[in-house]
């Protein structure tokens, strides 16, 4: 990476709340561990890296790691368009499904 450049990293779940019924289609994810709902099957968690054209001032609300507000209905493509980001320069994903640890992740996200 160019040390004089700025980058935006987005992590999202395009399978929220489930791959078979993606009502939100894409939800902005914080990395506190994967927490897909029980019986919702595999979810893809996608990382997209965009190179910025310069330093940006974002006017999005700050979202804490333990908040679910502002995450549903997020669209990486709309965000990239709003801030004039070109196509992603890198990307990766992994899949996860519900397991016994997920209730602890949900508890973290609820702030309790």
Over residues 102-110, the mean pLDDT reads 81
Q: Which residue's structure tokens are 């999202």?
A: 12
- Give 22-45 pLDDT, tens digit per residue: 888 788 876 777 888 899 999 999
- CATH code 3.90.280.10 for 7-110: yes
The ranges assigned to domains in the chain are: 7-110
| 106 has pLDDT over 60 | yes
- Give 44-103 pLDDT, tens digit per residue: 999 999 999 999 998 888 877 666 666 777 889 999 999 999 999 999 999 999 999 989
How far is the C-alpha of 55 from the C-alpha of 112, rounded, in Å? 36
Q: Look at strands 43-51 and 90-96 and give their pairing.
A: antiparallel
Phi, psi of 43 (to 5 degrees): -120, 140
- The pTM assigned to this predicted structure is 0.74
Tokens describing residue 60:
């999005």
Tokens describing residue 76:
């990486």
């Amino acid at each position: 990476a160019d040390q004089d450049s700025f980058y935006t990293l987005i992590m999202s779940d395009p399978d929220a709340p489930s791959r078979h019924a993606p009502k939100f289609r894409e939800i902005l994810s914080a990395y506190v561990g994967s927490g897909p709902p029980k019986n919702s099957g595999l979810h893809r968690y996608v990382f997209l890296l965009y190179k910025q054209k310069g330093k940006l001032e974002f006017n999005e609300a700050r979202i804490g790691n333990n908040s679910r507000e502002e995450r549903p209905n997020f669209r990486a493509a709309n965000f990239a368009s709003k801030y004039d980001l070109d196509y992603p320069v890198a990307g990766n994903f992994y899949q996860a499904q519900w397991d016994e640890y997920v209730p602890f992740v949900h508890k973290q996200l609820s702030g309790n």
